[in-house]
Amino acid sequence: MQCLLMNAGHSGRAWNAWKLTKYLKSRGFNQRFFKTAKSTLASDYELSPLLEITGLNRKPSSLEDFELLYTLTKEKCLSKKLPKNVNSRGVFVCNELDLSEVEVYGFDYDYTLACYKPCLHDLLYNLGRDMLIKKLKYPDAIAKLEYIPGFAVRGLHYDIEKGLLLKLDSFLQIQLGSVYRGLTKVPDQEVLKCYKNRILPIAYVEGQSKNHQPNIKAKMVQLADLFSVPEMCLLCNVAEYFEKNHIDYHPEIMFYDIKSAVQACHPIMHQIVMKDAEAYIEKNENLPKYFEKLLQSGKKLFLVTNSPYSFVNRGMTLLAGNNWREYFDVIIVQARKPKFFTDESRPIRLYDERNDSHVWDRVTRLEKGQIYYEGTVKQLQDLTGWRGHCVLYFGDHPYSDLADVTLEHGWRTGAIISELTHEINTLNNQEFKMSANWLQMLTQLIEENQDNESEPAKLCLQKWMQERDKLRKELRPKTTSPMPSYVHKCGVHELTKSSTYVQDIRTCKYL
């Protein structure tokens, strides 16, 4: 009977509704009356007069009261309708955008127009590992260390001095349980002893200059590039090998060795992918249709990428056909982002495809069908007149692709975040939804009663908080293992507030 009036709202209202229901039942009111009351007594405002009249207007005080309140809240949670599934291929808007104002669409290439298959990470990992052995004379035994898919996600920070890989939230707070030395999780107490605090100073973490290049005073480096995922895995594998075999090493030296080895492998990776593009690039039959739709609407298109032309040409030919260049009004390769968006001194140069060289002539206009090299966004804007909110640029890197063009040039930007597909599928899981709902209601129950100083309240609050903490830990591994994923909050209604990575973008209004 106590559940009849639960639709009224939160746990406090449920408590009031239960008291009134119990009282009315004791006075002989029939079942039909309770069904009517369920639909009419919908708020505390409507319940209060009746509670005053019946003398039931009191807060829970005894242990039995709090246990009953917990039961009522749990039953309300079980009766609550689960949220609808989120479309894993949806577009999530963090800021208002009127597409009728957008006249120019810009695109990055890697992980934006060209989405790579997971085997590319294996390739880059293996090339970097071999480079460590052959060029930098690392132990031959590390050749047996294989890439571990799913071990890490981008957005993690690496502490160069301490040799720790960890996750920070948007408030620079260490996410305990996400700190690793090699492949071994570091105990929470050791982490707190190491850093003295869960919240790190911005000066310790920031480590980036205006154009997001590593600062000489940096203590940490954020690995926000998708190409950095195999680099992170190699970093942890080698560190684990050294730790297990009691080999002394300097974390900073190892970090820069692995970073330089992986970067040096990119030209080799380009050649391998060009020979068998179908094996590494996901085909997208809708891409040419999308370009054609934009052109039919009178929009201008441009491509700005850090990759070399030969690599881009092979991939775009696979994705959009031999005449892919006809879709774009401007094509700029080897753009040196993020310097492309921040520097003003590097001139745009014309690329000679036949001789695989660069023309020395001054570029005074940008022509469709030509390939350009380097340059700056200032020159691009001066030569085309594409400025401000009329430009919408898509990329995958929140800093190199999105931050500077928004903050410095007023472009609108779109982030291609492939990891959200996995996280949305997790959020859409029925068990996850039920657990997230209960966590939300349990947290609210704690908040509504935390100012109660009675002994029964303190006892129940301690019990409820233990259950809440346990539930949080149970939900966390359901996203990504072993490192926590972007989803660190259990909000299933607003996806953009569920992700640290997305929240960073949202807070800074990069979108």
Whether 203 maps to a domain, the answer reads: yes
Identity of the amino acid at 293:
K
**Which residue of the set 44, 65, 108, 401 is catalytic?**
108
The domain that holds 325 is classified in CATH as: 3.40.50.1000
Three-class SS of residue 80?
A: coil
Residue 354 has which token pair? 């036949």
**pLDDT value of position 150:** 85
- Residue 400 domain-assigned? no
The reported pTM is 0.77
Give SS3 for 310: helix
Give the end of a domain, one of 385, 409, 443: 385
**Cα(490)–Cα(493) distance, rounded to whole angstroms?**
9
55: left (phi over 0), alpha (psi -120 to 50) or beta: left
Amino acid at 448: E
Q: Which residues contact 331 (CB under 8 A, 6 or more apart)?
A: 302, 303, 325, 370, 371, 372
- β-pairing verdict for 330-333 and 348-352: unpaired
In this predicted structure, what is the pLDDT of residue 31? 46
> Which of 146-150, 458-462, 482-486 shows the lowest mean pLDDT across its residues?
482-486
Q: Could you say which of 110, 159, 396, 401 is catalytic?
A: 110
Q: Are 435 and 443 in contact (CB under 8 A)?
A: no
155 lies in the same domain as 227 = yes
Count structural domains, the chain. Answer: 4
What is the rounded average pLDDT of the residues 318-326? 95
Q: Which residues, in sequence order, are CB contacts of 203 under 8 Å at separation 6+?
A: 217
Rounded CA separation 89/32 (Å): 47
Q: Residue 399: which pLDDT band, with cuts at 50, 70 and 90?
A: confident
pLDDT band at 22 (very low <50, low <70, confident <90, very high): low
CA distance 88 to 336: 32
> Does residue 359 share a domain with residue 245?
no
Q: For residue 481, give the amino acid letter.
A: S
Give the containing element (helix H, strand E) for 69: helix 63-79
Kindly state whether residues 340 and 214 are assigned to the same domain: no
**How many angstroms separate the CA atoms of 417 and 396, rounded?**
6
Q: How far is CA 489 from the centre of its chain?
A: 12
Q: Is residue 406 part of a domain?
A: no
Per-residue model confidence (pLDDT) at position 27: 45
Q: Do 319 and 381 sit in the same domain of this protein? A: yes
Residue 311 forms part of a structural domain: yes
Is 409 within a domain?
A: no
| Same-domain pairing of 255 and 309 | no
pLDDT exceeds 80 at position 21: no
Q: Which residues constitute the domain of residue 8?
A: 1-58
Most confident of 41-55, 151-165, 238-252, 355-369: 238-252
Give residue-wise pLDDT tens across range 263-295.
999 999 999 999 999 999 999 999 999 999 999
Mean of the per-residue pLDDT values of the chain: 81
d(Cα 399, Cα 505) in Å, to the nearest integer?
9
Whether residue 382 lies in the annotated active site: no
For residue 487, count CB atoms less than 10 angstroms from its CB and return exposed for 0-12, middle for 13-18, buried for 19 or more.
buried
| CA dist 372 → 337, 347, 351, 395, 417 (Å) | 14, 10, 5, 19, 27
Q: Is residue 410 part of a domain?
A: no
Residues 6+ apart with CB under 8 A from 394: 105, 106, 107, 108, 112, 401, 413, 414, 415, 416
Q: Do 45 and 152 fall within a single domain?
A: no
Share of the chain above pLDDT 90, in %: 51
Pairwise pLDDT comparison (510 vs 415), residue with the higher score: 415
- Do 140 and 257 belong to one domain? yes
Task: Give catalytic status of residue 110 as yes or no.
Answer: yes
Q: Does one domain contain both 227 and 337?
A: no
Q: What is the DSSP string of 245-298?
A: TT----HHHHHHHHHHHHHHTHHHHHHHHHHTHHHHB---THHHHHHHHHHHTT
Q: Do residues 295 and 263 both lie within one domain?
A: no
**495: confidence class by pLDDT, cuts 50, 70, 90:** very low
Rg, the chain, Cα only: 29
Query: Is 414 a member of any domain?
Result: no
Choose the final residue of a domain: 385, 408, 438: 385
| 144 and 111 fall within a common domain | no
Sheet holding 104-107, edge to edge: 357-358, 348-352, 371-374, 330-333, 300-304, 104-107, 391-395, 412-415
Is the domain of 157 the same as that of 226? yes
Angle between helix 430-449 and 11-26 (nearest 10): 80
Rounded CA gap, 475 and 129, in Å? 34
Q: How confident is the model at residue 43 (pLDDT cuts 50, 70, 90)?
A: very low
Whether residue 25 is predicted with pLDDT greater than 90 in this model: the reply is no
- Compute CA distances 83 → 433, 434, 480, whole Å: 7, 9, 22
| Residue of 303, 297, 335 lying closest to 319 (CA atoms) | 303
In a shared domain, residues 197 and 244: yes
Please tell me the predicted confidence (pLDDT) of residue 356.
Answer: 75
Of 235, 251, 275, which residue sits at a domain end? 275
Mapping DSSP to helix (H, G, I), strand (E, B) and coil, where does residue 98 land? coil
Using DSSP bridges, classify how beta strands 184-185 and 357-358 pair: parallel, antiparallel or unpaired: unpaired
Q: Is residue 67 situated within a structural domain?
A: yes
Helix axes 266-275 and 309-320, enclosed angle (nearest 10):
30
Average pLDDT (90-116) is 91
Average pLDDT of span 104-110: 96
